[in-house]
Amino acid sequence: MNWVLLYKTAIYTEAAILKGKLEDNNIPVQILNKQDSMYVLTLPGMHEIYVPGQLKELALGVLQEVLNN
């Protein structure tokens, strides 16, 4: 499967909520945590959300709906 980057956030909770909403719409999701474990308490890390390339447009629609509410 060809995974593409959909969204980046420094807040893991936001990534987890978006993952749940995408999965509710039958869109497979992977979250890549790029936070350095040495700096877990001091520096935020980036959390990248990936979806299959063929579902990117559908996922963008779900993402827009969630972020606008």
Task: Identify the residue with better confidence: 2 or 1.
Answer: 2
Residue 48's Cβ-count burial label (10 Å; 0-12, 13-18, 19+) is: middle
Q: What is the pLDDT of residue 40?
A: 52
Domains and CATH numbers, the chain: 3-68 (3.30.70.1370)
Are 3 and 48 in contact by the 8 Å Cβ rule? The answer is no
In tens, the pLDDT along 22-57 reads: 999 999 999 998 765 555 554 556 899 999 999 999
Q: What is the pLDDT of residue 67?
A: 86
